[in-house]
Structure 1
Amino acid sequence: MSDQVDSAEQCVFCGIVAGTIPCAKVAEDATTFAFMDIDPGSDGHLLVIPKRHSADLVQIPAEDLTATTLAAQRIAIVALSELGADGVNLLHCSGVAAWQTVFHFHLHVIPRYRDKGKDRLELPFEPGRPADTEAIAERARKLAGAL
């Protein structure tokens, strides 16, 4: 796992945007840049980033978050039709504990396939196992109260 990077000058994704680090570019507009993931979980797995450096979900300005999310949606729609994917995941990891390894905000666009020859991802938890409803309700109250 990489150490957290605090500056755009040291950021690998900023280097990709600047053209000093090679990538397989998928799309680019005034605000965002999309490129293939070098360690893909499925065929067509790619990343969408804001061109302006922000470390994570907490730091990204709303306008960059909006632009990045809309670009990811546009690309996901194309991945479904052009790659024949059966579904798509959007994933963001914010912080080391959440598996973030590059500290430049990014969304993973991960086409999903029934054909496991094209899709190597597995869930890290088992869905369909509800937790304690009282604990869920208490967390909801705490979050709602802070909002």
Structure 2
Amino acid sequence: MESPPYDDSNIFAKILRGEIPCLKVFEDDHVLAFMDVMPQADGHVLVVPKTPSRNLLDADPAALSALAPRVQKIARAVKAALGAEGLTILQYNEPAGGQTVFHLHVHIVPRWSHVELRKHSGEMAKPETLVPIRDKIVAALAEAK
């Protein structure tokens, strides 16, 4: 079954163009990483490539090559900054696979053995709860350079 074409009106495309604000964690020529506003755990970060693609299935291999090391770098910073015991890294493809925003993106979710994941829908987190967490991650990224 053929996938629909990329739709540049999706929320991540709008964030990349600066039309919608985000709490930025990291940005370079290839990706933008920001706090998920409906976090499944404190410190949930999204890494979005700047090259348009609906998901992994139609992504340019060069964009994927740039994405992977950046996901790794940000994941290490999230884990270190928050003292997480582990991480769950998720990437969904197509509606049946759980994808709801049709721009390739990777979820980095810090994990602790005693903390259940929250649902990833519904209530948005308040910026005043996300900013201090974001600041810790940004500081850990700066230390990693």
Q: Which residue of 2 aligns with 1:7?
A: 7
The TM-score, its normalising length taken from structure 2, stands at: 0.75
- Whether contact under 8 Å (2:53, 2:103) holds in the other structure is yes
Amino acid at match of 2:38: D
1:103 aligns with 2:82: no
Q: Which residue of 1 aligns with 2:124?
A: none
How much has 1:5 moved relative to structure 2?
7.3
Which fold has the larger relative contact order, with Cα–Cα distance below 8 Å and residues 6 or more apart in sequence? 2
Runs in 1 of length 4+ with deviation above 6 angstroms? none
Q: Which residue of 1 aligns with 2:117?
A: 120
Structure 1, unaligned runs of 5 or more: 123-147
Distance across 1 between alignment mates of 2:118 and 2:19? 30
Distance across 1 between alignment mates of 2:7 and 2:41? 30
> Which structure has the greater CA radius of gyration?
1
Distance across 2 between alignment mates of 1:121 and 1:57? 25
**Matched-pair identity in %:** 38
How much has 1:51 moved relative to structure 2?
0.7
User: How many residue pairs end up in the alignment?
Assistant: 116
Per-residue CA deviation, residues 29-84 of structure 1 (Å, 9 max, x unaligned), is 00111011111111100110111110011111111112112111001111111111
Q: Which residue of 1 aligns with 2:22?
A: 23
Distance across 1 between alignment mates of 2:65 and 2:47? 12
How much has 1:121 moved relative to structure 2?
5.1
Q: Which residue of 2 aligns with 1:42?
A: 41
Distance across 1 between alignment mates of 2:72 and 2:10? 25
- Whether contact under 8 Å (1:5, 1:103) holds in the other structure is no
